[in-house]
Structure 1
């Protein structure tokens, strides 16, 4: 077994602590898809099994999932903006939309300080991500 790899960056998701289980899963899936498109360097090589069946590549480093209050999400969002760390967001309005165009329109209709965030994801330097998510706890 090889030694553990310590990545210089961190991929992290922050979910609001009052979400239902299905919402947590849904929000996490949507959020990390945004990171994959913005930072292609975090994607590894395709997988293959012993029968040479190939599978899609995935992130090459762990994704850490945290939770916190609505206020903590707002603070983390502000810190990510201040540090200019790219992020994906999910607002409560997106639970009522049915496709990408409606999702984008729902976010576009709300001023930054009024976004009702239920999740956000970031990829950036380890120390910056730690500061952005300060106060969050690991998802159980």
Structure 2
């Protein structure tokens, strides 16, 4: 008895992509009004897209804050400022890798368990959610914001 169906009326999938499926290239964002939707099926593809988007968002936020760190501490301790900047960027990459891996495989498990197709718009949204969560949790620890 096969309970897993993959037809156009049901919009559900099994863990395997349909025949003829070609994995979209990154970033693969599409306009819903002008293009056909693109989907991700395999956990590795979901992880890869989520990793790229998370690193892109984390990279921007950490680069801006790292440049502020560099500008503030360069006058007093130039070598220490460069080392701090390098460690700051390295920590952002490590944090992005860890958080995107957790989120991506949780999303892949959820979508595959529910037999759903994942739009290529989901990974950038979750990358943005991770960055916003990081910013809000950091702002909660700054005395200026605690009132």
Q: TM-score, normalised by structure 1?
A: 0.29
The structure richer in strand per residue is 1
Q: TM-score, normalised by structure 2?
A: 0.28
Bigger RCO (CA 8 Å, 6+ sep):
1
The structure richer in helix per residue is 2
Structure 1 or 2, whichever has the larger Rg, is 2
